[in-house]
Structure 1
């Protein structure tokens, strides 16, 4: 099995978990606190962003939010089947 395929088998379920957990949106600081990683080989947050699944925005009070992009919503629908 190639290294890329092996990594995909490990990280794909974690990315799906992150997308499901974010759902309709969560504050950025909450996401960072819950999903910080100590393993540089499993950067779930970075991978989800690289795949275009997440976006960030600020509300009127200045709170930064993480929400799903259309690609993230599509993945969530696929995972929920």
Structure 2
């Protein structure tokens, strides 16, 4: 991943850290038609966020332990 994408990945992980988000919300909010800006896929590939199934909610995206470390390391 390029260094220029890191601020967007950081913003994305911070947004997810506020509360686990429904998968559909993540797709709707962070979708892009630009193949160079695959922010949420990059965060998932780096292990910063993960899919989880939550009772009564369904599929969600949540910050992992590595994602929390990433946020702390970047002052967020």
Shorter-chain TM-score: what band? 0.7 to 0.9
Provide the secondary structure at the position in 1 that maps to 2:11.
helix
Please name the residue that 2:6 is paired with.
Answer: 12
RMSD: 1.5
Relative to the length of structure 1, the TM-score reads 0.82
Q: Is 1:54 the counterpart of 2:49 in the alignment? A: yes
The alignment covers a number of residue pairs equal to 75
* Alignment counterpart, residue 59 of structure 2, candidates 53, 64, 77: 64
Is the contact made by 2:22 and 2:57 (CA closer than 8 Å) also made in structure 1?
no
> Please, which runs of 5 or more residues in structure 2 have no aligned partner?
none
Q: Deviations over 1:18-73 (max 9, x none)?
A: 00011131111111100001100111111111101111111222521110111101
* Alignment counterpart, residue 43 of structure 1, candidates 38, 46, 49: 38
Larger Rg: 1
Provide the secondary structure at the position in 1 that maps to 2:2.
helix
Relative to the length of structure 2, the TM-score reads 0.86
In proportion to residue count, which structure has more helix? Answer: 1
